[in-house]
A and B are shown apart, each in its own frame.
Chain A
Amino acid sequence: MSLDDLYRQVIMDHYQHPRNRGHLEDASVAVALHNPSCGDELLLELAVKDGRVQEARFTGRGCSISMASASMLTEAVRGKPVAEALKMAENFRQMLQGGPAPENLGDLASLQGVVKFPMRIKCALLAWDALEKGLSQAGEKACPARNEVQNEENDGRPGSK
């Protein structure tokens, strides 16, 4: 158990220089999540249009892992089709359950070390819980995209949060 497995430089960089921090004027959904055990707060705003995540921004207060994960998430999902963003969330979750780091995760792969710190996994997942909730809400709001998202939801994914 080495601290350097957890606090990779790229993580600290995202923590100190968060990407896409702020609000969206044309957000389709905004999801506020709160980690009741540690007090971390996160507001994730998504602009979803034509089945794609056009923009993602976040604000919040939390530890380096939760904030870096949120920052990386906003970069990773921007411009992605909803289905692909959800797949990414699934891959990320699997990585934190000890699975391999998929190639398409980019900076997010740096969070793989969290696996060795089980008490911190929920920190890394906070933003992804918000993403899944947000995309599900966006799907319900935007009728054209509804079926697509719901199919994705029912696609055998392990219990979405």
Chain B
Amino acid sequence: MTKDLPQAEILDPSKPASLSPADLLDVDKIRPDFPILGETIDGHRLVYLDNAATSQKPRIVLEALRRFYEHDNANVYRSVHTLAARATQAYEDARARAARFIGAARPEEIVFTRGTTEALNLVAAAYGRSVLRPGDEIATTVAEHHSNLVPWQQTAKATGARLVFLPLRADGQIDLDAARRLIGPRTRIVAVAHVSNVLGTVAPVAELAQLAHAQGAVLVVDGAQSVPHMPVDVRALGADFLAFSGHKMCGPTGIGVLYGRYELLEKMPPVLFGGEMIEVVELEDSTFKDPPYRFEGGTPNIAGAVGLAAAMDYLDGIGREAIHRHETALTAYALERLAQVPDLELYGPRQVPYGGSGGSESVDSPAPGGRPGANALKTGVLAFNLRGIHPHDLATVLDAEGVAVRAGHHCAQPLMRWLGVQSTARASLYLYNTPEDVDALAAALAKAKEYFRRVSG
């Protein structure tokens, strides 16, 4: 799926020539899969760079939803009629698909949730509250999305456990030396994002897993920004729990996954009580089903799970290593383009690092934790500010050029404080983005500067 564009088609001589066209996907074949990318915004081609917030959906996912509702829709488990059997089969097939997607040992290790937030809340409430004792420690970082911090704060308050923050290096990477000192005998849980939703940094998850396991602690990985973008294998990483969302990986909103090692899920009490999560209900007490069903009280998002499975098929059809390679090359290109924009401050690593391999060998080499391209320490999440322009104002002007970016604190207020900023703009890439999209961003940034210079005059 790669194409050999002559560099001149993408780069003019004034631009850096570090883009490796051989690493790029044939995006011309991918973009037609996404109907929404044909939208125009105020007469401009849509340049969608808000993928860390949510991704767009390929037709194959939209069709899977439609097909399910038109042909198979019924509630799962409850009835014996044909449609109920089909719906139940589709839902359980989706569970097995998700298990294969992340290398789980068995489908029953997959709990369907509304998304990453609910998945992390479930671990914090069900696992955290049952194992933590006063004085125990939960190790996390200041770079977490609120959904991997606030649930732990609440669990800490309820159990008397303590939050310990693993420090970041200047570039935003977790300081492993410090982590070695801080993850100790009192640590019961280490909870980190695999990829930061602001800095794009890739956490050394496999190393953290070793540190956690050496102390008898478990590793909880927020995979919201990694699972959509690169191969993730829970057993290779040593993740005991992994949470991710369907909507950031070409799937529908309202469906996500909590992966948990089965013996850990077995230790967890349910937190949502009601239909289909019970075994026997007496008037005064009840018994509960085995995992994962005891965590899926009420009618689940059946169509969402079906759509998510279709999204996984779609991503694997293109190849997650190829997607990762594409985004890594595009990120390196974007970093160079943004470095040329005067008065732009970029947060996080300034380099992928990425040598522009010109081929696939260097990024295909097996890496610790099963990550391809272990040399890619930054993914396509680019947070920045233009001096003198508030990110909200910047995002509005970029939008007028058709360029969709996020502006704000990205649900990471402690990280904003750590960076010493109130908020940032954020561009985030996905498989359908192109060097032309990056060029459009750079051009729109230049226009924004010019615009505010003019209206402020």
Chain A residues within 8 Å of B, Cβ to Cβ:
1, 3-4, 6-7, 9, 12, 16, 37-41, 61-65, 117, 119-120, 123
Of B178-186, B368-376, B378-386, B405-413, the one contacting chain A is B405-413
B400 at the interface (CB under 8 A from A): yes
Closest 7 CB pairs of A and B: A63-B392, A63-B390, A39-B409, A39-B423, A38-B408, A7-B455, A12-B456
Q: How far is the CA of A120 from the CA of B390 in the complex (A)?
A: 13
Chain B residues within 8 Å of A, Cβ to Cβ:
42, 390-393, 396-397, 400, 407-409, 413, 416, 422-423, 451-452, 455-456
Taking A7-B455, A16-B456, A38-B423 as contacts, is the C-beta distance between A64 and B393 under 8 angstroms? yes
**Which of the listed residues B390, B408, B416 has the most CB atoms from chain A within 10 Å of its own CB?**
B390
Evaluate contact between B396 and A117: CB separation under 8 angstroms.
yes
Q: How far is the CA of A41 from the CA of B416 in the complex (A)?
A: 14
Cβ of B423: which chain A residues have Cβ within 8 Å of it?
Answer: 38-40
Cβ of A123: which chain B residues have Cβ within 8 Å of it?
Answer: 392
Of the residues A3, A41, A117, contact of B422 by C-beta under 8 Å: A41
Evaluate contact between A3 and B400: CB separation under 8 angstroms.
yes
B445 → A minimal CB distance (Å): 15
A58 → B minimal CB distance (Å): 16
B447 → A minimal CB distance (Å): 10
Cβ of A119: which chain B residues have Cβ within 8 Å of it?
Answer: 396
Of the residues B396, B407, B413, B455, contact of A9 by C-beta under 8 Å: B455
**Which of the listed residues B392, B397, B416 has the most CB atoms from chain A within 10 Å of its own CB?**
B392
Residue of B whose beta carbon sits closest to that of A13: B456
B176 → A minimal CB distance (Å): 30
Q: How far is the CA of A4 from the CA of B456 in the complex (A)?
A: 12
Cβ of B393: which chain A residues have Cβ within 8 Å of it?
Answer: 7, 63-65
Residue of B whose beta carbon sits closest to that of A62: B390
What are 22 sample pairs from A and B whose C-beta atoms fall under 8 A apart? A1-B400, A3-B396, A3-B400, A3-B451, A7-B451, A7-B452, A7-B455, A12-B452, A12-B455, A12-B456, A38-B407, A38-B409, A39-B408, A39-B416, A39-B423, A40-B392, A61-B422, A62-B392, A63-B393, A117-B396, A119-B396, A120-B392
Evaluate contact between B396 and A39: CB separation under 8 angstroms.
no
A43 → B minimal CB distance (Å): 14
With A39-B423, A40-B423 already in contact, 16 other A-B pairs whose C-beta atoms are closer than 8 Å: A1-B42, A3-B397, A6-B396, A7-B451, A7-B455, A9-B455, A12-B455, A37-B408, A38-B407, A38-B423, A39-B409, A39-B422, A62-B390, A62-B392, A63-B393, A120-B396
Cβ of B400: which chain A residues have Cβ within 8 Å of it?
Answer: 1, 3
Cβ of B416: which chain A residues have Cβ within 8 Å of it?
Answer: 39
Q: How far is the CA of A123 from the CA of B397 in the complex (A)?
A: 15
Cβ of B413: which chain A residues have Cβ within 8 Å of it?
Answer: 39
A1 → B minimal CB distance (Å): 5
Q: How far is the CA of A123 from the CA of B413 in the complex (A)?
A: 18
B93 → A minimal CB distance (Å): 38
A98 → B minimal CB distance (Å): 19
Q: How far is the CA of A61 from the CA of B423 in the complex (A)?
A: 10
B444 → A minimal CB distance (Å): 12
Cβ of A37: which chain B residues have Cβ within 8 Å of it?
Answer: 408
Q: How far is the CA of A79 from the CA of B392 in the complex (A)?
A: 32
Q: How far is the CA of A16 from the CA of B457 in the complex (A)?
A: 10
B399 → A minimal CB distance (Å): 9
Cβ of B455: which chain A residues have Cβ within 8 Å of it?
Answer: 4, 7, 9, 12
